Structure 1
Amino acid sequence: MGNRQTYLINQIVQYAYRLDQKGFVANHDGNISARFDDVLLATPTAVSKINITPEMILTLDQTGKKLEGLGKPFSEIQLHLLAYQARDNIKAVVHAHPPFATARGLVHLPLKPLLPEAIISIGAEIPVVPFAMPGENPELILTALSQADVFMLAGNGVLAVGENVEQAYLRLELLEHIAKIQFYAEQMGVPMALSEENLNVLLQKRASIGLSPAPKKSATRPVLLDNIKALIRAEIENTLDV
């Protein structure tokens, strides 16, 4: 195992632990993956994120089939495959259920960050993707990925992407932080709104540091939905046995 692969595995383990410690997951919730050359490294299904160890990290091919590792792939691997298909600059995906952002998704309430730092980091609006069963309506995910690096999934938490695991995790963490702040602000009164002029300045700054690129779609890496549905059935059967 090379140094880079070891580093990626350790990053996955580190941020899986942080998901648990921050209260962003419970039970077996959440999953993390990272692209490594022509394969994916990913957390296994049916394991609490606080208990993930380097030996548990799976190696998957580009259709989500396991090549190496303990345990089984998670059924939501299709979300990760869609992300890697959508944009070549996506190298890592984090999916979790942070409470405040997940709650907004449940009531279909997009988030417009009001703090300048957040707008620069994650954009002017965080969308909510309508509910869909795993493997259904992939175009909804692809559309969201063309607009944002982190977004809410109605009834299924938050999906964040990045050029590495740390960046994807921090985007998810920031979304939850802002969702919590704005929830409290809304209980106290009407939160301030930035002017269009100020908002445009912040978005220009975001673009100038490369955080607002036009997403590049891959010509390859097809998502094989039949294989994904087989994975979903396998996880359901595995969960019933746990």
Structure 2
Amino acid sequence: MDTQVDELKLLVVKAVRMLERIELLDNNGHVSVRIPGTDRFLINSRKASRASLSVRDIVLCDMDGKLLEGDSEPPSEFHIHTEIYKRRDDVGSVVHNHPHYQTVLGIADVPLKPVFGVGAFVQDVPIFEDSSLINTRELGIQLAGKLGEESSVLLRHHGTVVAAEDIKSAFTISVFLEENAKKQYDASLLAPSIKVLEGENLERTRTSNWQPSIIQKLWTYHQEKAEKQGALSGITE
């Protein structure tokens, strides 16, 4: 168990550092991972910088957000994570980030549409209208209910939440969502009506662009790029 927890801590740190490097996270935002077979999860601490996060900044909590291990406290929005985990046995990782283009489209009340190959899974993304911090259990329950069985939910005027089976999948969805939103935004500047993926083409594109090999390929790409730029230095200190 100790080895597994150490490996998961490292994955959380890498995910946070890499999401911060590509500006999906800023000075806020958080990534969590459920420890398989338990009612506990790991998450980056509230006070730690996302740009210099290390394994010592990862805290262990129960499903009520109670600190079990670590030198700090979890983020105030831990209810996002706990309530999704309670509702969804299939979810092993949750990401709450603040992506620019998805948030802009939400502010403009423009629904996210599948317009780019890797964003083909974007369809009927639910929108949570309360833009405040999700820092109460009641709000966490409402958000988890709005997410339902989907992989993402847009928090109007705030950011997004992604839920997936594991941390690499949650990272990949986060990246693909923003890439798709950027393409949609840019295309909308060129024409009042844009072409979206639909029908058989949408289904085929969705299937071909969501494979374990693609998830690992994207993770490896961002990890190696972050390493070359020094963005992962000191993560085990």
* Shorter-chain TM-score tier: 0.7 to 0.9
Moved more, 78-87 or 1-10: 1-10
CA distance, structure 2, for counterparts of residue 202 and residue 176 of structure 1: 17
Show structure 1 runs of 4+ deviating over 6 A: none
RMSD, aligned CA: 2.4
2:150 alignment counterpart: 148
1:93 alignment counterpart: 94
* Counterpart contact for 2:83–2:141, Cα < 8 Å: no
5+ residue gaps, structure 2: 213-237
CA distance, structure 2, for counterparts of residue 209 and residue 32 of structure 1: 22
Is residue 108 of structure 2 the alignment partner of residue 103 of structure 1? no
1:129 alignment counterpart: 128
Tell me the TM-score normalized by structure 2: 0.78
5+ residue gaps, structure 1: 211-242
- Aligned-pair CA distance for 1:56: 1.3
1:18 alignment counterpart: 18
Q: Which among 179, 187, 190 is matched to residue 188 of structure 1?
A: 190
Task: Specify whether residues 193 and 19 from structure 1 end up closer, same or farther in structure 2 by C-alpha distance, changes over 3 A only.
Answer: closer
- Aligned-pair CA distance for 1:201: 5.3
CA distance, structure 2, for counterparts of residue 103 and residue 194 of structure 1: 21
CA distance, structure 1, for counterparts of residue 88 and residue 70 of structure 2: 26
* Counterpart contact for 1:110–1:128, Cα < 8 Å: no
Tell me the TM-score normalized by structure 1: 0.76
1:174 alignment counterpart: 176
One-letter amino acid matched to 1:13: V
CA distance, structure 2, for counterparts of residue 139 and residue 70 of structure 1: 27
CA distance, structure 1, for counterparts of residue 205 and residue 112 of structure 2: 17
Identity value in percent? 26
One-letter amino acid matched to 1:72: E
CA distance, structure 1, for counterparts of residue 157 and residue 198 of structure 2: 32
* Counterpart contact for 2:93–2:170, Cα < 8 Å: yes
Moved more, 87-96 or 139-148: 139-148
